[in-house]
């Protein structure tokens, strides 16, 4: 199942550039986000990304905030790094370390040539019932992205951001995230004022999940998920600046408080 800290990261992850951006001088970006549920703040996240010479590094922090602290005092750090090949990114390593109360957890994923080579999860997942569990097959972990890079978009314009499928792997579950065009607009937040594009996001579990799980079935069949992208400078890269996810008990909203290039 998608774990809380890097599930959030998959929606917030700052984008990684392709060849034209990698060939330019080193550049860095920062995004600060608030997560709210039914209008009440429950978490905050910050992500910093750096790109230089065909490689990227993204680091983030996620923590419960406001009302969320009353129910789940989760804090975590998340990192992803890799290389850039053509118009595609190739992860090398992803790691999430987080605590919930006194319980510590960790997910570490390693990649080679776009394929997962190892996964370490602490504490280890419980034994799965083979009658209800959909196992991950040999071909499921090829050409996949980690949670920090799952929303990477490299496009020639806002018109071409949507219309794609992302293969996502969080250390246990493999899913496909599909982006289809919804609308255009504009937004103004500290660090950015300009045009945006909103994509409707579809969710399709592929492997590494329990059949019949109500939360997953809701995400797949009933949830309305929208992700709004804004450009990172003139790089041709587009990163999430706002997202809404319909859940069984109400909408979850993720909004940028700051979205900017940094020196």
How far apart (Å, rounded) are the C-alpha atoms in residues 239 and 12? 8
Kindly indicate the confidence band of residue 49, based on its pLDDT and cuts at 50, 70 and 90: confident
Q: Are 154 and 236 in contact (CB under 8 A)?
A: yes
Q: Which residue has the higher pLDDT, 6 or 195?
A: 195
How far apart (Å, rounded) are the C-alpha atoms in residues 158 and 59? 26
Predicted confidence at residue 13, as pLDDT, reads 41
Q: Which residue has the higher pLDDT, 11 or 184?
A: 184
Predicted confidence at residue 54, as pLDDT, reads 77
Predicted confidence at residue 67, as pLDDT, reads 53
For 32, 60, 72, 96, 194, the CA distances from 107, given in Å and listed in that order, are 23, 14, 19, 5, 36
Predicted confidence at residue 72, as pLDDT, reads 61
Collect all residues with Cβ–Cβ distance below 8 Å to 142 and sequence separation of at least 6.
114, 115, 116
Residue 157 burial by Cβ neighbours in a 10 Å radius (0-12, 13-18, 19+): exposed
Average pLDDT score over residue span 56-63: 88
Average pLDDT score over residue span 83-107: 85
Residues in the chain: 263
Dmax (CA) for the chain in angstroms is 53
Average pLDDT score over residue span 38-46: 84
Mean confidence (pLDDT) of the chain = 83
Domain tally for the chain?
A: 1
Q: Which residue has the higher pLDDT, 71 or 170?
A: 170
Nearest to 151 by CA among 65, 41, 229, 73: 229
Lowest pLDDT segment from 6-15, 70-79, 158-167: 6-15
Predicted confidence at residue 16, as pLDDT, reads 33
Predicted confidence at residue 154, as pLDDT, reads 76
| 248 pLDDT higher than 60 | yes
The half-sphere exposure of 125 on its side-chain side, counting CA atoms within 13 A, is 18
Q: Are 20 and 156 in contact (CB under 8 A)?
A: no
| 2 pLDDT higher than 70 | no
Q: What is the pLDDT of residues 188-244, one digit of tens each?
A: 999 999 999 999 999 999 999 999 999 899 999 999 999 999 987 766 678 899 999
| Residues spanned by the domain of 158 | 4-262
Predicted structure pTM score: 0.85
């Amino acid at each position: 199942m998608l774990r809380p800290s890097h599930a959030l990261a998959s929606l917030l992850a700052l984008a990684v550039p392709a060849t034209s951006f990698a060939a330019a001088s080193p550049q860095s970006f920062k995004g600060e986000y608030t997560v709210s549920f039914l209008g009440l703040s429950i978490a905050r996240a910050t992500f910093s990304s750096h790109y230089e010479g065909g490689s990227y590094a993204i680091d983030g922090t996620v923590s419960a905030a406001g009302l969320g602290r009353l129910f789940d005092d989760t804090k975590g750090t998340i990192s992803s790094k890799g290389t850039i090949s053509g118009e595609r990114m190739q992860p090398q390593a992803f790691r999430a370390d987080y605590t919930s109360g006194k319980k510590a957890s960790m997910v570490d994923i390693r990649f080679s040539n776009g394929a997962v080579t190892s996964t370490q999860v602490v504490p280890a997942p419980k034994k799965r019932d083979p009658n209800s569990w959909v196992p991950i097959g040999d071909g499921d972990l090829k050409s996949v992205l980690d949670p920090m890079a799952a929303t990477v978009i490299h496009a020639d314009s806002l018109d071409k951001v949507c219309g794609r499928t992302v293969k996502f792997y969080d250390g246990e579950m493999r899913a496909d995230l599909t982006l289809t065009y919804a609308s255009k607009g504009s937004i103004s937040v500290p660090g950015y004022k300009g045009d945006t594009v909103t994509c409707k996001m579809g969710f399709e579990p592929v492997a590494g999940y329990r059949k019949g799980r109500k939360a997953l079935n809701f995400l797949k069949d009933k949830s309305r998920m929208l992700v709004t992208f804004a450009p990172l400078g003139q790089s041709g890269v587009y990163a999430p600046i706002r997202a809404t996810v319909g859940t069984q008990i109400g909408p979850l909203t993720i909004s940028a408080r700051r979205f900017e290039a940094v020196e």
